[in-house]
A and B are shown apart, each in its own frame.
Chain A
C-alpha cells in the first residue's frame, strides 16, 4: 500500500476514562540481508560492527519500541550456484548479539529468530533462559522451521527435514523447552548461607521426554527466568503455521500489512484463539512495514522513488527477475522491456537460502508482462513495484494516522518497522512519527519500570 492522500481522522475507541482502548505496539527490525537495506548511498555503516547494533538498539529504546527483532543467518544466500553479492551480506550469531545488546539497553525486548530444525531443545532452551536472565526478562524467540537441505549442509543433521514434519518438530521443540523452563520451581534458588541450602527441597523437576523428534532426559541448569518462558514469536503463514501460532505464539510477525488483507488475517488468527482457550489479547499481530517520510506528501513520494532506485540497482533488477524466470537473464537491459520467453520450470529455483513461494511462475510472468506493457514499465520499474514498495509514505502525521488506523480498526496490533539504512534508518521515525503517536494517546511515553517483554507487550495471560 502506498497511500499519500490525506487521511480522514477516525474517532478512536475510548474507555470510560477517555483513554484509547487499543494501544500501538512497535518492533524495530534490524536491517536485513536483502535489497531493502540500502548500502550504496554512503549513509550505511557496518552491518556487523557492534557500534551499529548499539546505535540501532538505543535509538529504538529512545522511541519506546516494544522490542527489536533480528533475523537469523544459517547460510549465505546463493543465486545460480554462486553466493549472492548484490545485497548486504554477513550478520552475527543471533543469540550472542542479543546478549551484547542486552548490556547496552534497559527496557527494550530482544527477539531473535532461531530455527527449531538446526538447534537442539536442551541447549537452545538454556540459551534463551540465559538471555532472559541477563536482560532482566526481555527475551523473545521467533521460532522458524527451516527444512531445506541447503541450510542443512552447515549442520550436524545435514540433509533436510521433511516439510510435513517442520511443525511437528517445532511443536515438540517448544514443549520440551517449556518443560525445561519449568524445571526449576519458583524459589528453587535458596542460596541460604545459614542453613546451607543452596537449592530448596524438591526444587528441581527432571524432564523425561521421548517423542518422534527428541529424546531429552535430565535437569535444566537455570533458575526460572524473569519471564518464566521467553515470549514466543512466529512468522509462518501456512495453515500449519497459523495453527502453530494459535497454539503457541504470543506475537505473529505477519506479512499482511495492507489494510483489508490485514483485517482478514487479524480476524482469522484471533478467531482461532477461543477454540484453544486463549484470550484475543494473548496474541499480538505485527505486520512488517517500511516507511518514507517527507515534509509534504509530494516530498515523501519523491524520496520514496529515490530510495527505491537505491534498493533496486540495475543488477538487482535483473537478479530479481532471474528468481522468477529460473534462468540467466544477464543479457537483458534493466531499462528495457521484460523477457518475451517464459520462466524455466525446475525442481529447484535459482535462489537458495531465502524463502520464496511462487506457485505458477509462468502465470506470474504473464501478469507482470501485462502490467509492464499496460503501464510502459521497464524491468527495473516493474521490480521496484514489487521489491521496493514502501508501506507508509507521507508526512509524519500521515504515517502516524495510518499506523493508528490499522490498530484501532483491527488490521493489526502495531507493526514491525523496517528501516532501509543501517543503523540510523529508524532515527527519523523516532524523531518524527513516535511523538505523533504519543500525542494521540495510543503509544507509551515511558516504559513501565522493570517491565518484562511480556508485560510491555500487554499480553493477557
Chain B
C-alpha cells in the first residue's frame, strides 16, 4: 500500500505573491470579512485537503524582513488568526484549522487555552503553527523588551554571535511556550469531571494537575481553566529553516515544515533534523513528521505560469522572493514534484498559493485529482479529529499514569489499620466531604 501524502494549504491575504490582490478573481476588499475565509476553507475542505494554516504576525506586514515600509500598494493588515480560525470552525466539518500564533509577545496561558477552545469549537480539528516574532517594531508594540534588527542572511549563516543569541532566545521562549501549552492541555485528565451527587463533587480534584512550569522568562502554575480538549493534544506545527528552530521542532512539534529548494537541499535538511533529534529530547509522544513547504503558481502550461509570474513581478517592481521553492508551472509538474519528494521521505506538504482563490482552485481541481489517482490521498474512514486524520494517536495525559493508581493502592494496603496514616481519609476531611 502506498503511504499517505498529507496536504495543507497556507492561507494568507489574497495569496502569497505581493501583487496577487490585484488579480481579477482576488477579493481584496473582503480580506477582513469572515465570508471570504469561509469560502476558501470550504473549497479546500470539499477537495479533501487535510488542513489549512492561517498566517499572522504581531504587526503590519512589510516587504522586507525589517521594519515597517511605506508601501501602500500591497496587502497590509490581518485578522487575529486564532479568532478567525475559531469563527471558521462552525462553518466546516472535516478540515484541520491551524492558526499561526506568536510566542514572543503573548501570554502562554492565553495561547494554550485559545488553542484548546478552538479544539472544542471545531470538535477536534485544532492545530497551532508556532511562530516567533523577531522584528524590532513588533517588540515596540508591547514595550517589554527591545530587539535588535534581524538580518536573515546573517542568521542563516550563524555568523554573527548577537544574531545567533537572539534567535536562541526567541526559539527558547517558543520551546518553553509549547511545553507550557502541552502541560496545560494535559492538566485535566480526561475523566476529571465526575458529577458525583453523593459526595457533592463536580470534579475529581485528584485528576487536575498543577503544571508548575518555571523557565527563564515566565512561570505558569496551572492547571488550565479549560478541560482536556477533544484531541488531547492539538497538533503543533513548526516551520523551521536552521538548527535552532529544528531543535524546537524536535522538542515540541508534531510536524516540522521545511523549505528545500532541490533534492540535495532536502537531503541536507533531513540530515540536520537527524542531528537535532540526537541533541534534543523529544517532548511529544510520536516521531516528528516532516512536511515540505512550496509556493505554487499554477497554469495550463509552464509558459503561461511563468508569464503570469513575470507579470505579477512587474507589478511588484522586483522578483518575488520566498524562503520556499517557487513552482510556477502546470498542475502536473506540481504533482510530480510532490510525489518525488514523498518518495524521498516527506510526509506532507504545505502549499502556499501565489494567488487566492485562483491557485487554490488549481490545486483542488487539478493537483488533487492527480495525487488521488497516484493513491496517496486515501484517508481512513470515519476519522473525527485532525490528529487521527494525519495518522497520529490520541495521547494519554502525561499526568494520568496507571502506575500512580497502582502506587496509591499499595500505599493504602500498607497503612491498613492505621486511619491516621490513610491519605485517602485525610483528603476527604480537607475536601469537606463527610
Interface residues of A (CB under 8 A from B): 39-40, 48-50, 54, 73-76, 80, 82-83, 85-93, 95-97, 99-100, 102-104, 118-120, 122-123, 126-127, 130-131, 133-134, 153-156, 158, 184, 189, 191, 193, 196-201, 203, 214-219, 221-223, 313-316, 318-319, 322, 328-330
Nearest first, the 3 closest Cβ-Cβ pairs linking A and B are A215-B143, A315-B200, A73-B225
Would A156 and B432 count as touching, CB distance under 8 A? no
**CB-contact partner of B113 in A85, A92, A200, under 8 A:** A92
In Å, the complex CA distance between A42 and B106 comes to 39
Establish whether residues B432 and A322, one from each chain, have CB atoms under 8 Å apart when the complex forms. Answer: yes
B302 lies within 8 A of chain A by Cβ? no
Q: How far is the CB of B67 from chain A (nearest CB, A)?
A: 9
* Cβ-neighbour of B32 out of A91, A102, A223 (below 8 A): A223
Give bound CA distance, A115 to B195, whole Å: 30
| Cα-based distance from A402 to B88 in the complex (angstroms) | 41
Which B residues, 93 to 120, have Cβ-Cβ distances below 8 Å to chain A? 105-110, 113-114, 116-118, 120
What's the Cα separation between A88 and B197 when bound, in Å? 12
Q: Which residues of A contact B220 (CB under 8 A)?
A: 153-155
* Residue contact A95 to B114, C-beta cutoff 8 Å: yes
Q: How far is the CA of A156 from the CA of B218 in the complex (A)?
A: 5
Which of the segments B73-81, B154-162, B239-247 contacts the partner chain? Answer: B73-81
Which residues of chain B come closer than 8 Å to A193, judged between CB atoms? 21-22, 26, 28
* B188 proximal to A (CB < 8 A): yes
Give every chain A residue within 8 A of B178 (Cβ-Cβ): none
Residues B138-193 near A (CB distance < 8 A)? 138, 140-144, 188, 193
A318–B60 touching, CB < 8 Å:
no
Shortest beta-carbon distance from A432 to chain B in Å:
28
Residues of A within 8 A of B301 (CB): none
Q: Does B315 contact A (CB under 8 A)?
A: yes
Q: A103 touching B87 by the CB < 8 A rule?
A: yes
Contact, CB under 8 Å: A96 / B86: yes
Chain B residues with Cβ under 8 A from A73's Cβ?
A: 113, 225-226
- Interface residues of B, count at CB 8 A: 82
Please give, as numbers and ranges, the residues of chain B lying within 8 Å of A329 by CB-CB distance: 432
Query: B205 contacts the other chain (Cβ, under 8 Å)?
Result: yes
CB pair A83 B203 closer than 8 Å: yes
Say whether, besides A76-B208, A76-B225, A96-B121, A198 and B87 are in contact (CB < 8 Å). no
Q: Which residue in chain B gives the minimum CB-CB distance to A209?
A: B143
Cβ–Cβ contact A189 & B74, under 8 A: no
For the complex, give the distance between the alpha carbons of A196 and B74 in Å: 8
- Docked CA distance A89–B65 (Å): 45
Contact status of A222 and B90, CB under 8 A, knowing A85-B203, A134-B84, A191-B21? no
Complex partner residue of B143 from A54, A74, A153, A216, CB under 8 angstroms: A216
In the complex, whether B405 has a CB less than 8 A from a CB of chain A is no
Q: Which residue of B lies closest to A41 (CB)?
A: B197
Residues of A within 8 A of B204 (CB): 85
Known: A93-B116, A119-B107. A103 touches B90 (CB 8 A): yes
Known: A99-B83, A119-B110, A156-B108. 7 other contacts (CB 8 A): A50-B120, A50-B123, A96-B82, A100-B87, A122-B58, A158-B218, A189-B77
Q: Are A133 and B76 in contact (CB under 8 A)?
A: no
B425 within 8 A of A: no
- Is A189 within 8 A of B32, CB to CB? yes
- Cβ contacts under 8 Å, B79 to chain A: 130, 133-134, 222
Most A CB atoms within 10 A — which of B84, B106, B201? B201
Q: Does the CB pair A48–B200 fall under 8 Å? A: no
- In the complex, the chain B residue whose C-beta lies closest to that of A73 is B225
Docked pose: A46 CA to B227 CA in angstroms: 11
Assess whether A100 is in contact with B90, with CB atoms less than 8 Å apart.
Answer: yes
Chain B residues in 8 Å Cβ range of A316: 200
Q: Is the CB of B73 within 8 A of A198?
A: yes
Determine whether B430 belongs to the interface, using a CB cutoff of 8 Å to chain A.
Answer: yes
- Is there contact, CB below 8 Å, between A203 and B72? yes
**B42, chain A: closest CB distance, angstroms:** 13
Tell me if B221 counts as interface (CB < 8 A to partner A).
yes
* CB of A219, distance to nearest CB on chain B (Å): 5
Residue of B nearest to A80 (CB): B430
Asked if A131 meets B143 with Cβ closer than 8 Å, knowing A156-B107, A314-B200, the reply is: no
Against A, the Cβ 8 Å flags (1 = close, 0 = not) of B213-239 are 000011111110111000000000000
Q: Are A92 and B205 in contact (CB under 8 A)?
A: no
B121 engages A133 (CB within 8 Å): no
Query: Bound state CA distance, A259 and B107, in angstroms?
Result: 42
Would A198 and B28 count as touching, CB distance under 8 A? yes
Q: With A80-B430, A127-B80, A154-B221 known to touch, is A102 a contact of B28 (CB < 8 Å)? A: no
A50 and B72 within 8 A (CB): no
User: Once the chains bind, are B110 and A93 in contact (CB under 8 Å)?
Assistant: yes
A316 to B197, CA, bound (A): 12
A198: chain B residues within 8 A (beta carbon): 21, 28, 72-76
Indicate if B383 sits at the interface (CB-CB under 8 A). Answer: no
The answer for the CA separation of A153 and B75 in the assembled complex, in Å, is 39
Residues of B41-61 at the interface with A, using a CB-CB cut-off of 8 Å, are 57-60
Report the separation of the CA atoms of residues A80 and B430 in the bound assembly, to the nearest whole angstrom: 8
Q: Are A92 and B117 in contact (CB under 8 A)?
A: yes
Q: Is the CB of B73 within 8 A of A196?
A: yes
Contact among B87, B117, B315, B434 with A315 in the assembled complex (CB-CB below 8 Å): B434
Question: What are 23 A-to-B residue pairs whose CB atoms are below 8 Å?
Answer: A50-B123, A75-B225, A80-B430, A85-B202, A92-B113, A93-B117, A95-B82, A97-B121, A120-B144, A122-B58, A126-B80, A133-B33, A134-B34, A153-B219, A196-B315, A198-B73, A199-B72, A200-B72, A222-B32, A223-B32, A318-B434, A330-B430, A330-B432
Which residue of A has the minimal Cβ distance to B81?
A130
Task: Tell me which residues across on chain B come within 8 A of A191, comparing CB atoms.
Answer: 21, 28-29, 31
Which B residues are in CB contact (< 8 Å) with A158? 218-219
Given A104-B90, A198-B76, answer yes or no on A89-B203 (Cβ-Cβ < 8 Å). yes
Whether B82 lies near A40 (C-beta < 8 A) is no
Assembly CA distance A96 to B225 (angstroms): 13
Minimum CB–CB distance from A339 to chain B (whole Å) comes to 14
Residues from chain B with Cβ under 8 Å of A54 in the complex: 90
A420 to chain B, nearest CB (A): 14
A103-B200 in contact given A91-B226, A315-B432 (Cβ < 8 Å): no
Contacts of A100 in B (CB 8 A): 86-87, 89-90, 117, 121
A42 to chain B, nearest CB (A): 9
Q: Does B199 contact A (CB under 8 A)?
A: yes
Q: B91 near A: Cβ within 8 Å?
A: yes
Q: Distance in Å from the Cβ of B58 to the closest Cβ of chain A?
A: 8
- A130 CB contact (under 8 Å) in B80, B110, B227, B429: B80
Q: Report whether B226 and A48 are in contact in the complex, using a CB–CB cutoff of 8 Å.
A: yes
B39 contacts A by Cβ under 8 Å: no
A-contact 0/1 string along B412-433, CB 8 Å cutoff: 0000000000000000011111
Is A75 in contact with B21, judged by CB distance below 8 angstroms? no
A219–B87 CA distance with the chains assembled, in angstroms: 25
User: Does B339 count as interface, using CB distance less than 8 angstroms?
Assistant: no
- Chain A residue numbers with a CB within 8 Å of B387 are none
Across the interface, do B200 and A93 meet the contact criterion of CB distance under 8 Å? Answer: no
Residue numbers in A under 8 Å from B29 (CB-CB): 189, 191
Q: Does B355 contact A (CB under 8 A)?
A: no
User: Looking at A39, A95, A198, A314, which has the most chain B CB atoms within 10 Å of its CB?
Assistant: A198
